[in-house]
Amino acid sequence: MHFKARAGAKLADVRLQGALKKLQGNFVKGRADRVAELDNFSDIRDAAAAIRDRALANLDVYLETFERNATARGAVVHWAETHDEVNRIVREIAAQHSVRKVIKSKSMVTEECGLNDALIAAGIEVVETDLGEYILQLAQEPPSHIVAPVVHKTRDEVSDLFAEKHQLSRKTDIPALCREAREQLRPHFLSADMGVSGANFVIAETGSTLIVTNEGNGRMVTTLPRVHVAITGIEKVVPTLEDVTTLLRLLPRHGTGQSITNYISLTTGVRGAGDLDGPEHFHVILVDAGRTKLIGGDMQEMLRCIRCGACMNHCPVYQSVGGHAYGWVYPGPMGSVLTPTYIGLENARDLPNAATLCNQCGVACPVKIPLPELLRKLRERQFEQGLKPWYEVAGLKAWGWLAQHPAWYSLMMRLQARALKLMANEQGMIRNLPFGGGWTDRRDLPAPEGRTFREMYGQRGK
Amino acid sequence: MSARANILARIRTRQGKAVTARAAERDTVAQHIAAHPQSPRPQVAADVVARFCDRALSLATTLDEVAAVADIPAAVARYLRDQGLAPAAVCWPEFADLDWRAQGLQVAAHPARSDDLVGITGAFCAIAETGTLMMLSGPQTPPATSLLPETHIAVLSRRRIVAGMEDGWGLLRAEHGALPRSVYFISGPSRTADIEQTVTLGAHGPYRVHLLLLP
């Protein structure tokens, strides 16, 4: 099923529509308020885009530098070309350390890989510990937002789910639900053999991985188990601590409307001499899985993305249909660019068109990715590769022929103006346009007055 | 070829570069890292202590002033009493020798375990811009103490409050050189807004963060 079919179902889902309404108020206003705190926001935003471009311009050297510095501190750096390779590497690490239970903090790259299923198939217990991801794991659903994964669910749905899965009395207020999840998950934190996290950034200067979290689960996942595996895309490398600081001024503001997240954790190497906590084994997996397809071409700007979610929060299409309509891991405008490039344009036909190109996303993007521009390029590629539907191609061909034959064009326009006038009701509106139901099902089309502009222009002064 | 070689080669080919990186490219990268220049920063008022306190309070951190290290136990006892919390805690080794008993407190100097309800720590420094504590892991500064308990009490000297995170990195480079295993920043009690985007304090980490400010 493609975006178009799914979007229709989501629009008709009353409960989802209620859940989505809150998004705009909280995240959009939150971002605006937090950005206003910065007296020189546009300078910081320019610098952030330049920092990402600097890393991408010498990506291979920065990655090698990261690898060298991380290795010097006792980390093991792996490289994976595909999602399957990521899963294989994690399974091997788990086998090597006799891992039976894995705790995870939120990671979209592992969603790409389907890592949880791969580990479960290998007989390993996997527990998502971010509250949102934990709810989704219980409900066996994919996330619908890259920052707020259960934005599509209401409190009532969570109450029902917890009551059913935890076999405890049904709680209805949010703090009680949060405490119940805390009490359910704490034993897992203490008993897990391995922690799996993503990395918002990896820092070449120090060989560190960095995650931002609010709940504290990220700190536990990277601190308590004896093995820690951080999995992230190759594009996430940032040169220096100063560079990552600039990005951290923008990521929480644009993601959740916070001036800073509760926790920012940098992890460098393994447990040091005399340390009483921290993992004994630290693995970093650098993932390609389609990212190099974006390098060097006219889509490279997309790799600046720091996964804040501002583009989807501000997108009128996302606000109307939610994340599941987009069909893969990344929804909204950034997803409509990433999904076709990662999994193939032919597998995501509707996505480049699942946008109005209104540029709310481009304006909201903290690293100045020209998202509408990139979507337009993908549309051009679709046309070049013959991936547009036949009726669209035929329609454009017919219009192209007419546009090159002015006499025929003028005749068609005159006929059309008269025909549309005849279809109008007493108020001069067309209620139902043949072949144009998509437009007239929900609104009326004002009818033309019966003559074309050129006719009237030709008769002026006569 | 290994995945590593394939990925690096693909990056270089797609960017129209020769198979292996040239010395000039490595120099560019090395120079940027060595210089680690700062980008534009927002203005932070000259009074960093006032700014820090203002931002920390806005993040639901609470504050108290203590005149000297010896006054810490009394301030902790007062806070726990006001919050209706039991008079027991674990602390970092640097506070082990304070006279906790005189204030009726049971304080042990070991890293927090899951059933410890109050953790007392110091801090490496604090960031005025965002009201944030900068913490370093280490044998004397176990991270679990600020993470597992429901209440985290941190002792901070006003002299260790710097304007921005860049200044924190500056202090770290000057005083320690390399990064410890974990550098972590704490900005108030743990929280989540995953259910209906309603902010709820106390997710997996502490429900309360209380700061004792020393001169």
Nearest Cα of chain B lies from the Cα of A234 at a distance, in angstroms, of 9
Q: Which CATH architecture fits A1-37+299-386?
A: Orthogonal Bundle (1.10)
Is B195 in contact with A174 (Cβ distance < 8 A)? yes
Q: What is the mean pLDDT of chain A?
A: 93
What ipTM is given for this predicted complex? Answer: 0.97
Each residue's pLDDT tens digit, A423-450: 888 888 988 887 777 778 888 889 888 8
Question: Residue A422: what residue type?
Answer: L
pLDDT digits (tens, 9 = 90+) for A202-233: 999 999 999 999 999 999 999 999 999 999 99
| Chain A: closest CA distance from residue B213 (Å) | 20
Cα angle A345-A4-A8, degrees, rounded to a multiple of 5: 160
Q: Could you tell me which chain A residue has the CA closest to the CA of B18?
A: A60
Domain ranges of chain B: 3-35, 48-214
Query: A459: pLDDT confidence band, cut at 50, 70 and 90?
Result: confident
Q: Work out the pLDDT band at A462, boundaries 50, 70, 90.
A: low
* pLDDT score, position B21: 82
Q: Domain residue spans in chain A?
A: 1-37+299-386, 39-289, 390-458
Q: Is the pLDDT of residue A293 over 80?
A: yes
Looking at the complex, report in whole angstroms how far the Cα of residue B8 sits from the nearest Cα belonging to chain A: 6
Q: Give the Cα separation of A205 and A54 in Å (integer).
A: 14
Measured between beta carbons, the chain B residues lying within 8 angstroms of A87 are none
Per-residue pLDDT band at A64 (split at 50, 70, 90):
very high
| Amino acid of residue B126 | A
B132 in contact with A, Cβ within 8 Å: yes
Proportion of chain A above pLDDT 90, given as a percent: 77
- Quick one: which of A186, A241, A35, A73 has its CA closest to B134? A241
Among B residues 135-174, those touching chain A with beta carbons less than 8 Å apart: 137-139, 142-144, 147, 164-166, 169
- Whether B157 has a pLDDT exceeding 70, the answer reads yes
Of A47, A59, A190, the CB nearest to B114: A190
pLDDT score at A226: 97
Topology, domain A39-289: Rossmann fold (3.40.50)
Q: What's the whole-number mean pLDDT along residues A29-35?
A: 95
Q: Please determine, for residue A348, whether its predicted confidence score (pLDDT) is greater than 90.
A: no
Please list the residues that pair with B185 across neighbouring strands.
A264, B134
Q: Which helix (H) or strand (E) holds A377?
A: helix A371-384
Which of A306, A278, A178 lies closest to A219, judged by CA? A278
Q: Answer yes or no: is pLDDT of A306 > 60.
A: yes
Distance CA A217, CA B99 (A): 34
Helix (H) or strand (E) holding B106: strand B106-108
Mean pLDDT over A279-304 rounds to 96
Reported as a single tens digit per residue, the pLDDT across A130-153 is: 999 999 999 999 999 999 899 889
Residues in A 280-339 with any Cβ partner in B closer than 8 A:
286, 288, 292, 295-297
Residue numbers of A between 160 and 179 with CB closer than 8 Å to B: 174-175, 177-179
How far away is chain A from the Cα of B53, in angstroms, using its nearest Cα? 15
Nearest Cβ partner for B204 among A81, A132, A185: A185
- Architecture of the domain defined by B48-214: 3-Layer(aba) Sandwich (3.40)
Instruction: List b or e across A295-312, with b for residues whose CB sees 16 or more CB atoms inside 10 angstroms.
Output: bbeebbbbbbbbbbbbbb
The reply to whether the predicted model has a pTM over 0.80 is yes
Cβ separation A219–B205 shorter than 8 A? yes
Which residues 72-101 of B are in CB contact (within 8 Å) with A?
A: none
Among residues B196, B192, B212, B208, the alpha carbon closest in space to that of B68 is found at B212
* Other beta carbons less than 10 A from residue A415's beta carbon: 11
Judged against a pLDDT cut of 60, whether residue A1 lies above it is answered with no
pLDDT on residue A65: 98
Give A395 to chain B, closest Cα distance, Å: 36
